[in-house]
Amino acid sequence: MGFFSRKRTVTFLPNATDTMPVAGVSYRQSAIRGRGIGPFQLMADPGNKFDKNAVAVYQDKRQVGFVPADEAKLWCSLVKKLSKEGTDVWVHGDVRQDGQDRWILLNVPAEDQVRAWLNP
């Protein structure tokens, strides 16, 4: 039984008023599925050798990239907090295409909202 098969609460984050590009998609073009709006899961990646605060972005159980490094610490804190409570973190996003290249924009709550969830 792998990580994705565990029974957990799935929560789509509310108040998605901002967008955030997914980093590293140029290395994972074959993993990205479809075009248009779809669900994406955010998961902490503490074993990442480049950033202990890395947050991986998954689509259909395939890693498609990461939360940008300059925002990773905040998002890692939220994902870890919710994960400890038994909640998987999901956001809606938009797969876009320019020629052969695809890129992803996630619909996320504003930074101040995320901070408020971390420090109630």
The pLDDT tens digits of the residues spanning 15-40 come to 889 999 999 988 888 888 887 778 99
Flag whether 41 is in a domain. yes
Q: How many other CB atoms sit within 10 Å of the CB of residue 120?
A: 4
Please report which confidence band the pLDDT of residue 7 belongs to, taking 50, 70 and 90 as the band edges: low
30 is in which domain, residue-wise? 19-118
120: confidence class by pLDDT, cuts 50, 70, 90 = confident
Q: pLDDT category, 63, cuts 50, 70, 90?
A: very high
For residue 86, give Cα distances in angstroms to 7, 71, 103, 104: 9, 23, 30, 26
Question: How many domains are contained in the chain?
Answer: 1
pLDDT at 69 over 90: yes
Alpha-carbon gap, residue 44 to 110, rounded angstroms: 19
What is the pTM for the complete model shown? Answer: 0.88
The CATH number for 77's domain is 3.30.70
